[in-house]
Structure 1
Amino acid sequence: MQIIIRADGAGANMLSHLLAKNPNNLYEREEKGAKVRLVYTVCDEQRTEAVLHVSPDPIELVKGSPDSYDITQYINDREFVTSSLFCTYIRPSLGTALNGKPKETFAEWVSHKFALTLSFGPVASNLPEPVVEQLFASLGYEVEQERGEADYPFALKHRSSVRYITLRGRQTLQTALRQLFILMPVLDDYKHYFIGEAEVEKLERYGEGWLEAHPQRELIVKRTLRFADVIERYEANREPAREEQNGAAEPAAEAASLADGAEPAPKVRLNEQRYQAICETVQGLEHKRTVVDFGSGEGKLSARLAELAGVQEVMAVEPSAIARKRAADRFAKLAERGQGVVPKTVTGSLFYYDESLRGKDVIVLCEVIEHIEAHRVERAIATILNEYAPHALIVTTPNREYNQVYEMGEAMRHADHRFEWTRGEFRQACERWRTDGYELELQGVGERHEAYGHPTQMAIFRRREEKKEA
Structure 2
Amino acid sequence: MLLTITTTRHPADDLGFLLHKHPARMQSFEQSFGTAHVFYPEAGPERCTAALMLDVDPVRLVRTRGRNTPDFSLGQYVNDRPYAASSLLASAMANVFRTAMRGRCDSRPDLADTEIPLTVTLPALPCRGGPAQAERFFAPLGWRVDARAVPLDEAFPSWGDSRYVSLTLTGELRLADALNQLYVLLPVLDESKHYWLAPDEVDKLIRAGGGWLAAHPERGAITRRYLSNKRGLVRAALGRLAGVDQAPDEALSQPEIDDEGPDAAGTADTAETAGAAPEPRTPLAELRVRAVLAALHEEGASSVIDLGCGSGRLLARLADDAAFTEVSGADVSYRAVEIARRRTAGARRVREVFQGALTYADARFGDHDAAVLMEVVEHIDPPRLGAVARVVFGGARPRVVVVTTPNAEYNVHYEGLAPGAMRHPDHRFEWTRAEFGAWADGVCAAHGYRVRYVPVGDADPAAGAPTQMGVFVR
The two structures have a TM-score, normalised by structure 2, of 0.51
**Mapped partners of 1:111, 1:246: distance in 2:** 20
Task: Tell me the SS of whatever aligns to 1:75.
Answer: coil
Contact kept? 1:186, 1:224, Cα under 8 Å: yes
Deviation of 1:154 (Å): 8.2
Deviation of 1:80 (Å): 2.9
126, 131, 134: which one aligns with 2:133: 131
Q: Which amino acid aligns with 2:81?
A: R
Q: 1:253 to 1:148 in 2, by over 3 A?
A: same
Q: 1:240 to 1:113 in 2, by over 3 A?
A: closer
**Mapped partners of 1:73, 1:114: distance in 2:** 40
**Mapped partners of 1:182, 1:127: distance in 2:** 17
Contact kept? 1:3, 1:52, Cα under 8 Å: yes
For each residue in 1:108-135, what CA deviation from the matched residue of structure 2 results, as whole angstroms up to 9, or x when unmatched? Answer: 2111221100001411121242231021
Contact kept? 2:26, 2:37, Cα under 8 Å: yes
More helix by share: 1
Task: Specify every segment of 5 or more residues in structure 2 that has no aligned partner in the other structure, as ranges.
Answer: 246-272, 274-283, 297-408, 422-459, 461-474
Deviation of 1:250 (Å): 4.8
In the alignment, what sits opposite 1:192? 194
Task: Tell me the SS of whatever aligns to 1:132.
Answer: helix
1:49-88 to structure 2, matched below 5 A, reads 49-63=49-63, 70-88=73-91
In the alignment, what sits opposite 2:167? 165
1:264-303 to structure 2, matched below 5 A, reads 300=419
In the alignment, what sits opposite 2:8? 8
90, 95, 99: which one aligns with 2:98: 95
Deviation of 1:56 (Å): 0.9
* Count of residues in correspondence between the two structures: 277
* Percent of pairs with identical residues: 28
Task: Tell me the SS of whatever aligns to 2:213.
Answer: coil
For each residue in 1:273-316, what CA deviation from the matched residue of structure 2 results, as whole angstroms up to 9, or x when unmatched? Answer: 899xxxxxxxxxxxxxxxxxxxxx9874xx8xxxxxxxxxxxxx
Q: 1:149 to 1:234 in 2, by over 3 A?
A: closer
Task: Tell me the SS of whatever aligns to 2:162.
Answer: coil
In the alignment, what sits opposite 1:41? 41
Task: Tell me the SS of whatever aligns to 2:179.
Answer: helix
Q: 1:152 to 1:45 in 2, by over 3 A?
A: closer
Deviation of 1:46 (Å): 1.3
**Mapped partners of 1:162, 1:172: distance in 2:** 27
Q: Which amino acid aligns with 1:58?
A: P
For each residue in 1:211-245, what CA deviation from the matched residue of structure 2 results, as whole angstroms up to 9, or x when unmatched? Answer: 11111111111111221111122233333334765
Contact kept? 2:239, 2:417, Cα under 8 Å: no
In the alignment, what sits opposite 1:114? 116
In the alignment, what sits opposite 2:244? 240
Contact kept? 2:6, 2:118, Cα under 8 Å: yes
Q: Which has the larger radius of gyration?
A: 1
In the alignment, what sits opposite 1:358? none
Contact kept? 2:34, 2:57, Cα under 8 Å: yes
In the alignment, what sits opposite 2:357? none
Q: 1:190 to 1:253 in 2, by over 3 A?
A: farther
**Mapped partners of 2:3, 2:14: distance in 1:** 18
For each residue in 1:139-173, what CA deviation from the matched residue of structure 2 results, as whole angstroms up to 9, or x when unmatched? Answer: 11111112333338989732232111100001111
For each residue in 1:90-120, what CA deviation from the matched residue of structure 2 results, as whole angstroms up to 9, or x when unmatched? Answer: 1121122112233x22222111221100001
Q: 1:155 to 1:93 in 2, by over 3 A?
A: closer
In the alignment, what sits opposite 1:105? 107
For each residue in 1:69-92, what CA deviation from the matched residue of structure 2 results, as whole angstroms up to 9, or x when unmatched? Answer: 723223322343211111111112
1:298-447 to structure 2, matched below 5 A, reads 300=419
**Mapped partners of 1:183, 1:12: distance in 2:** 26
Q: Which amino acid aligns with 1:221?
A: T
Deviation of 1:206 (Å): 1.0
Task: Tell me the SS of whatever aligns to 1:209.
Answer: coil
In the alignment, what sits opposite 2:307? none
In the alignment, what sits opposite 1:144? 146
Q: 1:90 to 1:153 in 2, by over 3 A?
A: closer
**Mapped partners of 1:87, 1:64: distance in 2:** 16
1:208-247 to structure 2, matched below 5 A, reads 208-225=210-227, 226-238=229-241, 239-241=243-245, 242=273, 247=288
Task: Give yes or no for the alignment of 1:25 onto 2:25.
Answer: yes
Q: 1:210 to 1:71 in 2, by over 3 A?
A: same
Q: 1:34 to 1:130 in 2, by over 3 A?
A: same
Task: Specify every segment of 5 or more residues in structure 1 that has no aligned partner in the other structure, as ranges.
Answer: 256-268, 276-296, 304-325, 327-445, 447-470
Task: Tell me the SS of whatever aligns to 1:97.
Answer: helix
The two structures have a TM-score, normalised by structure 1, of 0.51
Task: Tell me the SS of whatever aligns to 2:50.
Answer: strand
1:441-456 to structure 2, matched below 5 A, reads none
In the alignment, what sits opposite 2:335? none
